[in-house]
Structure 1
Amino acid sequence: MNKKQRAQAIKTLFLHHYPNPKTELKYNNLYELLVSVMLSAQCTDKRINLVTPALFAKYPTPALLAQAPLESVKELIKSVSFFNNKAQNLIKMAQQVLHTFDGKIPTTQEELKTLAGVGQKTANVVLIEYFEANFMAVDTHVFRTSHRLGLSYAKSAQQTEADLTKAFKTDLSILHQAFVLFGRYICKAQKPQCQQCFVQDFCMTQSNFKPA
């Protein structure tokens, strides 16, 4: 089995096991999704879901968040990792949305990336989840599992994204969500659940790969 056939076989198994995977972040609109994804960097979805209800109750729109006192936002998200920087970015992002995009969250990768605290991964995750856009986003779960399966040997998340996009080409939104769930519950960083693994035949190693 060559590299292309191997990637196709893995893709087929993932699409079969995760026919309709979705993010575990709880949101009601594009604004809430963007904020949740921004907060989720290096933090668990479970923690974000505990924090966002109060945040969205107090600041339900970009216009209100844009005017929020920094200390108020910090207080609401203080249990989230890097809450100081994230609070600053949330307010600045909301101000940019208000002044540059007429109060509407932009819907293209390039426009999203102009917002404070929004890199390519965050932009892609938002577009994948909300629009089912054909993008791949590489978080720690996707990075680890794709390297364990020999789908990429890149040292950075962005190059890994390029490798996976090239290998899979289509159904990227589904595959991104599937790899996240797979890494979160089966192919864990520590003590992977190999007995439950449906792609065990393709596993190269149990090493815990992290982006450089």
Structure 2
Amino acid sequence: MRERFGGALDPTSFTAASVIVVPVTTDNQTKATTGVLGPPLTLNVDYAVGLAPDAQVGATILEIDPLHPLKPSTCISGGMFLGTKCKTGTGYLVILTNGIKDASGHAAVPDSDYATIKAALPTCASISDPTLHGVCLLAGAQLQIAGGLGINPANIVLTFSFTTGSTTDTLELLSATTQPTAIKANPTPLTTHQVNPALPGHANIYVGVLTIPYYLSKAAPLTGYWN
């Protein structure tokens, strides 16, 4: 996770009070933050903060790196996949405060859009642009959560949230919709030693065919590329 600032940053100002990451619940339709799942993550235990190493950007990019896997967002309840009935998910809210300083010791300030959003709260009625109005409503919910955690919204220069995924949901859905089939394996006259002389040859080699579903276009490997 990254955020770019307008000037070189002082990495010593990246503290648990200036860069805060909070586990939250989210609305699966709007992606709005709807509640708090637990206390803020612990800096240097759950996540690390530093300057991005990218060349030619100076020290302008703040980078947040998780130090272990984040909580997955799952739509499985009681062993059942909820599908469209799954209304909430798991996410994280990132809160950046004016405790972040630049290389000259000046406190960070919101950019023009975020300053406009904060000034328009709580109704966002003064924002006519529909996209920015929607962002304003999302930011308002985030600032309410921050206030509930004892963080003064006046000191906040940016908030943003993201949701996590889960491979478990995908595997459970496939498991529920796929019928197991037998795999026929035929022996060959070969041992592992004949394939690789470095191996002792204790194992015989069998050949079988496994048919699996292919979810991409059949022409994709011929006309496209990995992206």
TM-score for the superposition, normalised by structure 2: 0.21
TM-score for the superposition, normalised by structure 1: 0.21
Instruction: Considering fraction of residues, name the structure with more helix.
Output: 1
> Which structure has the bigger radius of gyration?
2
Instruction: Considering fraction of residues, name the structure with more strand.
Output: 2
